[in-house]
Structure 1
Amino acid sequence: LEEKMGEDVRVTVLGHVQRGGSPTAYDRIMSTLIGQAAVKAALDATPDTEPMLVGIQNNRIHLAPLMECVNTNQRVNKAIQALDFETAYHLRGPGFHAAFDILRTLVRAVPHPPKPGQRQLHIAILNAGAPAPGMNATVRAAVRLAVDQGHQPLGVYRGFRGLINNQLQELNWMDVNGWAPTGGSELGTSRRIPEGGDFYAIARTLEEHKVDALLVVGGWAGYEAAYSLYEERRNFPAFNIPIICIPASIDNNLPGAEYSIGSDTALNSITEVIDKIKQSAVASNRCFIIEVMGGYCGYLALMSAIACGAERVYLHEEGIRLAALEEDLALLVTGFEHGKRLALMIRNEFANPLYTAPFLAALFEEESKDLFTVRTSVLGHMQQGGNPTPADRIMAARMASEAVNFIVQVCQARDGDPPAVCLGLMEDRLQLTPFREIRRIYDVEHERAKQQWWMELRPIVRILAQPGPQF
């Protein structure tokens, strides 16, 4: 680069800085779960039990035969040393394949030219619902992956409000340059859900721009708005296009998705703030009641409790009862009597309309026996900000790739009614959930899935918060 192109080049070797630093929320949570699973596996084992490796596959603890894992890893190393990169590539697994293919497209200086005679699709892309870190990364990946396949993305400004007001603009390769690491939403977002005459205005916008598909990146308000278009298809032929929703919400509360883009960033923001609060609390024998966002979904509350070592977590899914508060108070008093210097109680913002954070603080301080003081901290909208974490950026690229490929395949097939689906990571792979299934799997009143995988982790918080082992 320096000799042949005359560029000013510098080399930076990161070195051991990569081994340092505070662990992320994900690292804290997963190491806790792995430790718990390892202890259980050891207690359940017999002298004849095969040695096992405790690992993680898509947020689930996974046990695999140790020697099988070692042999596979050695095969990868041998293939690389022998310059057999094709074998090494396949041994890495399907997740590596997808990531590698996406990367090869996103890092190009210019996209591939369109194929001769191919049909160019017009794909409208918008953000909707509350802001979530990673929205920009998703839009960037979707735009570049679509352009690389010869199609034309259309950016819709201010969510569905932009569709109503005809605020669309063509987005090309360099228009989204630098979007990946930024928080917020460059396109803008809104919670506007179409009604009445809005549908006619949206239909005219879609027809004017010859939109072939709609890609919605956002939270529940975006899903509701997309669902309303789906229900109005009989009245507006312009809505008979493929519609796909990508989950982007810090609350991690969307149907057909165990992981929402933005939730990892929010969790790390919460963890970083709580770490500082703990340093304040430990200096003065203090209990903090910390209130986090999430709506009626307790994901952020529970996961931050595991990551930060909270004594208790209060969720709307469980509710709050006075008898339980008495037990929690007794736990606090016992802990401080035995030398505890700080305590954390994390409360979901809608855990209970009566037992609010100020109420809990007043109750605990009144009954503290002067062993500790109590303060509250409502973290607020800082949880929606910040630049997306690597995990959110990677998931944004994966989901954008899946969505664009799905749109292209459906539009080329032209088979039957255009699908309306929401995309999400479920257990071990990305899956599509039809809109007609949403009401069956989703608690619309409380805006959360009826079955939430992380609820099974609740006992771990209580076990780790005990003042001592319970025999």
Structure 2
Amino acid sequence: MTQPTGIGVLTSGGDAQGMNAALRAVVRTALSRGVPVYAIYEGYRGMVEGGNRIRPLSWDDVGGIMHRGGTIIGTARSRTFRTREGRLQAAANLIEHGINRLVVIGGDGSLTGADTFRREWSSLLAELVETGKLSRETAARYPFLALVGLVGSIDNDFYGTDMTIGADSALHRITAAIDALVSTAASHQRTFVVEVMGRHCGYLALMGAVAGGADYVLIPENPPEPGWEDRMCALLRAGRAAGRRESIVVVAEGARDREGNPITSDYVRRVLEERLEEDARVTILGHVQRGGTPSAFDRWMSTLVGYAAVEELLSATPDSEPQLIGMRYNRITRQPLMHCVEQTQQVSAAIAAGDYQRAMELRGGSFTEMFQTFQALASALPSVTRPRRRRIALLHAGGPAPGMNTAVRAAVRLGLDQGHTMLVVRNGFDGLIAGHVSECEWQMVDGWGPMGGAELGTSRRVPSGDDLAAVAHALTRHSIDGLLIIGGWNGYQAAHRLYHERDAHEPFNIPIICLPASINNDLPGSELSIGADTALNAIVEALDRIKQSAVAVRRTFVVEVMGRYCGYLALMSGLASGAERVYLHEEGITLDDLRADIQEMIKGFRAGKRLSLVIRNEYANRLYTTDVICALFEEEGKGLFDVRRAVLGHLQQGGSPSPYDRIQATRLAARCIRFLTEEMERGTAAAAFIGFINGRVRIFDLGELPHMVDAVYRRPREQWWLQLAPIARALAQQKHDMHDMREL
């Protein structure tokens, strides 16, 4: 089999945050395999122009780029490449540089063009030979063009991957903009119409509306029925009557009515001003959604798919079908490229044909579920007005986590909409025992979605002994029929304690469910806990600042992050920041490890490196503390570099929840209310905990809890993210050649 002589990588179409992280991963993975890699600058235009547009990249050329938005190798659309003459010149340019394998990062148009180029490859080379521009011997060394596609698009409109590169970052921009608009809108009792990108895909609009607590959303996949203008205005008018001072309407740029006529943001504004007789303003977010620093997710996800793209190319044969590398359920997936393109285009075709049911089906069940959930949450008042017969209590347990307030808001409103009386307990089980229980109405949780912390308060108290009788008495006194515990390890312990004491305390025989909320991501039954994504973003933002301060001098930073005995935050922040070394409790730390790390550090700084970033999980080792590691590095560095420590502390627990944490808190709260409702209607009293496994919501019996946890270290027995550690290490530092390494 012909061995690969070079890999080319290009970004094409619209730019997307995270492209640079993917580029870095492609370059470093290829170089670690001994394969030269070339950047094709300005996309297909650069491929056609050749010359200096196609240049080799070194390990250091992609250092320090993960935090940068856009794409450092540029992107451009090329009409010339759409012609055979253009593709003929592109083939000649690739062979001139010894490239016969391509990583294309772009949207459906870019990937379709790449596949056309691949299918024509043999005939293009034959023509080059016939015209004397290429020798037969040279052509024979490049019998096929291997191709892998990565989806770079903020729209999240591509089949075969849960998230496209840039979508999460764009959602961060949209959510931040809506949060900012809410405050000014409330000051003036004003309505804002917010237009977001997405072409034929309503993902950004819908999820931005959910995360931002908007009142109304218009998406292309599910146009409103005729007369929607009256219904929208009636909804907003009812919200004002209920006490809301602001209104937010989110419009996808591709929104249309049932007849296929575009619904513009300006039209929505005019309708609102004319019918509500109040001021309305339009904010078109535009390309701000594409720009700026990529989110933590876009960094680590893009890194993983970039790594996998090279692995796929190096195993390709002449018979290999081009693959799309994506992420499904936090795992790397490979699917036939053109099948994914065809499935993606079916959504646009369904919308154009007016088959909106089909368009929603193609978007998937979770998309439809979130659309229905949004409609219930955005109402001015619950749809159920009959006397309330069931009483559900909500409380927090464990440490605070961003997204707790979002979960409470969703649970209260969805519970009221189901016809329940919703009770909130302040300060966890301490508050339940003390009688700090009150009914919660619809507007009491208005505006809670973007709020950090835990408005209800929380405590780490796990009832035991006499506490159990006190809890039982409180449940009886307040006639509680179902219990939703939103929190971390202490909440799970408390629920399990109540579950096992049911024979001794009859009031514990009610439906109970735990919703995972912990920045440590150390809870069983869920691959991600509410709050972990926000904490990860806070860490990565802090690391960006640390790196900027450190590159001015030769310095090593040892950064300590939270997580207790779970290394999720440490590893994933290392993957997202390009840290050279991550110390985890799961892997341990030995003196030999530290000795080897110091030796690599010294080699790097002697070769011209300016920065070394080391991340340590707070409980990685009880003897090799952050201070001890800093002292060892400082002593052995002998003045070659200085060492600083940074303990990020509780900033990881604070701040407004990320869009992901808001959306998933809403989704889990909805399922918890459904679970409790079904149990109460059946007259059963299951006790459970909920979470995401392989991208799906799963509910586990509380009796399974002891079998799913490492009780000594308070973490799940299975931690999916640990398998990513070798990738993080492979991309962090160059082992075989430290020449001219300047920064991470």
TM-score (norm. length: structure 2)? 0.62
Letter of the 2:306 partner, please give it.
Answer: G
Answer whether contact 1:114 1:149 (CA < 8 A) is retained.
Answer: no
Answer whether contact 1:271 1:307 (CA < 8 A) is retained.
Answer: yes
Shift of 1:286: 0.2
Aligned counterparts of 1:283 and 1:321: Cα–Cα separation in 2: 31
Higher relative contact order (CA 8 A, sep 6+): 1
In structure 2, the partner of 1:406 is 675
SS of the equivalent of 2:485 reads strand
Answer whether contact 2:388 2:421 (CA < 8 A) is retained.
Answer: no
In structure 1, the partner of 2:540 is 271
Of 687, 695, 719, the residue aligned with 1:420 is 687
Answer whether contact 2:536 2:569 (CA < 8 A) is retained.
Answer: yes
Aligned counterparts of 2:730 and 2:469: Cα–Cα separation in 1: 56
In structure 1, the partner of 2:605 is 336
Aligned counterparts of 2:712 and 2:449: Cα–Cα separation in 1: 34
Of 722, 730, 733, the residue aligned with 1:455 is 722
Shift of 1:65: 1.7
Answer whether contact 1:287 1:344 (CA < 8 A) is retained.
Answer: yes
Q: Which moved more, 1:41-50 or 1:254-263?
A: 41-50
Aligned counterparts of 1:454 and 1:144: Cα–Cα separation in 2: 34
Shift of 1:467: 2.5
* Root-mean-square deviation over aligned CA pairs: 1.2
In structure 1, the partner of 2:286 is 15
Answer whether contact 1:291 1:346 (CA < 8 A) is retained.
Answer: yes
**Is the radius of gyration larger for structure 1 or structure 2?**
2
Shift of 1:114: 4.0
Shift of 1:468: 4.4
In structure 1, the partner of 2:369 is 98
SS of the equivalent of 2:728 reads helix
1:285 aligns with 2:540: no
SS of the equivalent of 1:278 reads helix
Aligned counterparts of 2:421 and 2:323: Cα–Cα separation in 1: 49
Aligned counterparts of 2:414 and 2:334: Cα–Cα separation in 1: 35
Q: Which moved more, 1:166-175 or 1:240-249?
A: 166-175
SS of the equivalent of 1:359 reads helix
TM-score (norm. length: structure 1)? 0.97
1:286-322 C-alpha deviation (Å, 9 max, x unpaired):
0001000000100000001111111100011111100
Alignment of 1:47-196 (within 5 A): 47-114=318-385, 120-196=389-465
Of 443, 449, 456, the residue aligned with 2:710 is 443
1:223-264 C-alpha deviation (Å, 9 max, x unpaired):
111111111111110000011000000000001111000000
1:355 aligns with 2:624: yes
Answer whether contact 1:264 1:392 (CA < 8 A) is retained.
Answer: yes
Of 305, 315, 333, the residue aligned with 1:34 is 305
Aligned counterparts of 1:462 and 1:69: Cα–Cα separation in 2: 31
Of 699, 717, 722, the residue aligned with 1:432 is 699
Aligned counterparts of 1:221 and 1:205: Cα–Cα separation in 2: 19
Of 718, 726, 731, the residue aligned with 1:464 is 731
SS of the equivalent of 1:361 reads helix
In structure 2, the partner of 1:397 is 666
Aligned counterparts of 1:370 and 1:65: Cα–Cα separation in 2: 53
Shift of 1:202: 1.2
Gaps of 5+ in 1: none
Aligned counterparts of 2:551 and 2:341: Cα–Cα separation in 1: 43
Letter of the 1:421 partner, please give it.
Answer: A
Letter of the 1:431 partner, please give it.
Answer: R
Alignment of 1:289-300 (within 5 A): 289-300=558-569
% of aligned pairs identical? 54
Answer whether contact 2:562 2:649 (CA < 8 A) is retained.
Answer: yes
Letter of the 1:442 partner, please give it.
Answer: V
Of 470, 474, 489, the residue aligned with 1:201 is 470
1:321 aligns with 2:590: yes
Of 361, 368, 382, the residue aligned with 2:637 is 368
4+ long deviations beyond 3 Å:
none
